[in-house]
Amino acid sequence: MGYGPGIVLYTIFGALAGYTGWQIWQMFLQLDSNQYPLKTFGDIAFRAYGKVVRHLVNILQAIQLIFNVGVIIIQNGQGLYQINGNICYIVCCVIWTACGFILGQVRTLQKYGWIANCAVWLNVIVMILTMAVVTHSHPNYEAAGKSNGVDIGPPAPPVMTTAGPPATVEFSGQIVGLMQAVYSYGGAMLYCEFMSEMRKPWDFWKALVIAETFIYVVYLFFGIFVYSYQGQYTINPAQQGMFPHAALTAGNIIAFVTALMAAGLYGNIGIKVMYQNIFQELLGLPPLTSRAGKLLWAGIVPVYWGIAFLLAAAIPQFSALSGLVAALCILQFTYTFPPLLMLGVQIQHDAIRPEQGEGFNPATGETIRHDHGIKRWARGFMAGRWYIKLWNFVFFLGALVTCVLGTYSSVKSIVDAYASGSSTAFSCVGPV
């Protein structure tokens, strides 16, 4: 997107991600209880719109988590292939899938606390290494040619940067770039899971502010820095565009560790969402805390990672796959669902008429409503601060349009990658 649109849109989407994170936190505090705890994002959807919407949200969350694991398999597969090109690329992906089989046997999020913290700082080390290397060496032309399809000569054209979108990049390509920004703010779908295991969910806002600020400042600085030195040769992930080979190897090895930690976290929550909301609730399987549940968990883990591997092997173009994940799934949990859910929660709350005896009676467990349907929803919309509800509705529509644009652009990018021959499903030749 170039400097201008890239910086501006990353800033806007960061601010909106902070706003929707605050919305999720507010809804959690309002709706959670000891008797009816909120465990997942789908639980908020159930309180706001009912069982059908809850199942749709849970299914989409499970799909996103599988895709996230698939993206990480691609990233690590590419990295291992860059280190040793004698290993078949698809075998590189199989190796990391097997590692996931082992890591996925950890069942509780508590054991991931120190691992997740360590992964953040290892990621920062990779970024510092990348910035140090790009200032003293030329780009990895071979990786850029395969990944981005740019002209690498010989002789290689000079590094070029642009204030606006480059003339050679179509609008759909710019949208795929925007989806990478959306991807970086993709943690919102796990907020309920984190808060449900926090001792003091009221303190969540501190973690939200720190994380959002970190993601914005560090990633934006890193992106501007690397782009300034590598221009059109910048690839995603950036450390795989380093040269010489020794630096490339060091960056990939550290990135292996951080990516596996993230994949373990995504896989853990993804399997829990599927098991508890589909297998346990709909199919009547035993709880995970039982002996039978633990045995089933051990069997589900390799199946889950196997599906992620198939997705990664079928769509080996990293930016295209991550853009598709961002458009189809991440954008919904970070930007589309929160304002829609907040709208439903506010409308239902403001529609209650306590002066006429409506509300919940904790002594009898009875809920009293004197009307239902469109009339009640219209009253709830107009009651209280209607302009905030209108803003949330407009915000929801805008996010929906962005989802359609992002999905179309990412699919087009995947089709173009196959047509150009830079990406081939289940291939021995890597896409970098």
pLDDT tens-digit profile of 25-75? 999 999 998 888 888 888 999 999 998 999 889 888 888 888 888 888 888
* pLDDT score of 112: 67
* pLDDT score of 229: 94
User: Domain ranges in the chain?
Assistant: 3-353+370-420
* pLDDT score of 14: 95
CA 196, CA 269: separation in Å to the nearest integer? 13
Q: Residue written as tokens 């059109």?
A: 232
The b/e string for 61-71 (b: 16+ C-beta within 10 A; e otherwise) is bbbbbbbbbbb
Beta-carbon count within 10 A of 170 CB: 13
* pLDDT score of 311: 82
Rounded to the nearest 10 degrees, how much is the dihedral formed by the CA atoms of 413, 414, 415, 418? 120
CA 338, CA 17: separation in Å to the nearest integer? 10
CA 46, CA 39: separation in Å to the nearest integer? 11
pLDDT tens-digit profile of 308-364? 888 878 877 777 788 888 888 889 999 999 999 999 999 988 888 888 778 887 788
Q: Give the rounded percent of residues in the chain with a pLDDT score beyond 70.
A: 98
231 near 238, Cβ under 8 Å?
Answer: no
Length of the chain: 432
Please list the rounded mean pLDDT of every run of 10 residues in the chain (432 residues). Answer: 93 95 95 87 91 88 84 86 86 88 71 76 92 92 84 87 90 89 87 86 92 94 95 89 89 86 78 79 80 84 87 78 86 94 92 82 81 86 90 95 92 81 73 72
302 near 61, Cβ under 8 Å?
Answer: no
Provide the 3-class DSSP secondary structure of residue 243. Answer: coil
Question: Candidates 1.10.760.10, 1.20.1740.10, 1.10.150.120, 2.120.10.70; correct CATH number of 3-353+370-420?
Answer: 1.20.1740.10
174 near 165, Cβ under 8 Å?
Answer: yes
Q: Note the pTM of the prediction, 2 decimals.
A: 0.85
Nearest to 41 by CA among 113, 25, 33: 25
* pLDDT score of 35: 84
Write the single-letter amino acid at 166. Answer: P
* pLDDT score of 108: 65
* pLDDT score of 422: 63
